Amino acid sequence: MSKALIIDDEQQMRRLLRMVLESRGYEVCEAAEGQLGLQEAAFQRPDVVLLDLGLPGNGGMDVLKRLREWSDVPVLILSVRDREAVKVEALEAGADDYVTKPFGTAELLARLTVIQRRRFTRQSVEIGAGGVTINLLHHEARLHDEVMKLTPIEFALLRVLLEFSGRIVTQNQIIKRVWAGQSSDPSEGLRVHINHLRKKLGVTGPRIVNEPGIGYRLEVG
């Protein structure tokens, strides 16, 4: 049974989330403020954290940053704040995904399922999702077992998207991984390479979804 920790100061929201999660078999624990949430995370060792940004005292962003100092538990942000800058800040601080309130329960559960998929790590020799796999040892990419011809940049982009499959990767995160150490701004080049990669993925290409003003997400279906 998976364990979920809800950190939200609204009692009604905690009650709703508990009802939804328990109906799907989750064991649920909760906290109404940030410091207690961090204590619960340390004591309960949840499999996933649902974190509100608008917490009293230590805000949700601070809780996220402190949590990431010692834990890699998947974190789904739930917030009424829908500005792009806030979403980018949360994702770059270590959130795995971001859902704006109000939200549908089907979307919430789907996002939770995706961010809990930890079958592949950055140290894996082979990484895959949605019929696409890359072998890091042989530097080879395959689409439904057919070898793909990718440029080094396209391969690096695909690797990042697969490592974070189902989750938003910000433009800045991608640039740091793919163009590390480059002084010029590759933002325009990123869009071009993403479009080339989409074309090479054929019918799978549309699964690389643009999150306007934030980054990209590889949908895994």
Taking a C-beta distance cutoff of 8 angstroms, is the pair 90, 99 a contact?
no
Residues 74 and 142 in one domain: no
Please indicate, yes or no, if residue 121 is contained in any of the structural domains: no
* End residue of a domain, out of 115, 146, 172: 115
CB-neighbour burial class of residue 146 (10 A; exposed 0-12, middle 13-18, buried 19+): exposed
Does residue 122 surpass a pLDDT of 60? no
| Parent domain of 175 | 126-218
Print the SS3 string covering 86-107. Answer: HHHHHHHCCCCEEEECCCCHHH
Return the closest-CA partner of residue 13 out of 28, 35, 27.
Answer: 28
Q: At residue 12, does pLDDT exceed 70?
A: yes
Whether 9 is covered by a domain: the verdict is yes
Angle at 123 between CA 120 and CA 124, to 5 degrees: 45
**What does the pLDDT read at residue 64?**
95
**Residue 86 maps to which CATH number?**
3.40.50.2300
Tell me the per-residue pLDDT of 18-61, one tens digit each, with 9 for 90 and over.
Answer: 999 999 999 999 999 999 999 999 989 898 999 999 998 768 99
0.75 exceeded by the pTM? no
Report the chain's mean pLDDT, rounded to a whole number: 88
Dist. CA 73–CA 44, nearest whole Å: 12
